[in-house]
Amino acid sequence: MLHEAATQAASDLLFGHWREGGVLDALPDALRPETRADGYAVQARLEKRSPRPLFGWKIAATSSAGQAHINVDGPLAGRLLVEMVAEGGAVLPFGANRMRVAEAEFAFRMGRDLPPRAAPYAVEEVMAAIATLHPAIEVPDSRFADFTRAGAPQLIADNACAHQFVLGPATDADWRGMDLAAHPVRGAVDGAVSEGRGANALGDPRLALAWLANELSGLGITLAAGQVVTTGTCVVPMPIAPGVEVVADLGILGATRMRFTG
């Protein structure tokens, strides 16, 4: 278990590389988390670096393609900082992004708190706490030169590869009665289309959201009203480059888009 000073030092190192666009091979042995709990303890230090409340959460590696992309065997939770979030139609800097992929996702805004408790939350309880559903684009990145070798504890410390996030408008469709697992999802980069469906996000975006609520509950964290959760890519991560336009299209549930500077 990492002690407090090592946890802070690991957070400082990762945040510095994120801010400056740098990478490292691995955290030094004395700062390296060996468990998921250690990784989350490092990640938690991110919140104090923003003067504004936490915008929400992302779930990494909810699909087999996403897990293969970062070489893990299950999902990881990460924090969405307000400073890295944009509205649909945004033009964002490409910067030093080395992952070079974008993802089309379902996102949910919470309508009420889900506080920590001993019993797991059922999917129905979690869905009853949702206010709105949105199309979203996530643009992940990692502070590790070879993120496929970092392993889950270090990737969690690395904020589950969170980077940029674009939130589309809330849908006005009656989504609660829909089969979100079967729902088609289209992502596009400069018109090159990737197709998927909601089931690619941990079997169903609702299941992914319930997983996040229970992951946070186990860590003693409240999934708070107003926070947004993006539930993982529904298409194979799409290659991107400077200057491209990215679209996430959920059909009758809406679409959103963004562009990178050249």
What residue segments make up the domains of the chain, in order of their start?
52-260
With 80 as the cut, is the pLDDT of residue 1 above it? no
Residues in CB range of 172: below 8 A, 6 or more apart: none
The pTM of this model reads: 0.96
Tokens of 164: 């940029």
Pick the CATH number of 52-260 from 3.30.2420.10, 3.40.50.11260, 3.40.190.10, 3.90.850.10: 3.90.850.10
pLDDT value of residue 71: 87
How confident is the model over 96-120, as pLDDT tens digits?
Answer: 999 999 999 999 999 999 999 999 9
| pLDDT tens for each residue of 115-151 | 999 999 999 999 999 999 999 999 999 999 998 899 9
Q: What share of the chain is helix, strand, coil (3-state, %, to 5)?
A: 30, 30, 40
Could you identify the residue written with the tokens 């991110």? 46
In whole angstroms, give the CA distance from residue 233 to residue 183.
Answer: 13
First-to-last C-alpha distance (Å) of the chain: 43
CA angle, 97 as apex, 226 and 35 as ends, to 5°?
65
Tens of pLDDT along 20-30?
989 999 999 99
Query: Is the distance from CB of 248 to CB of 165 less than 8 angstroms?
Result: no
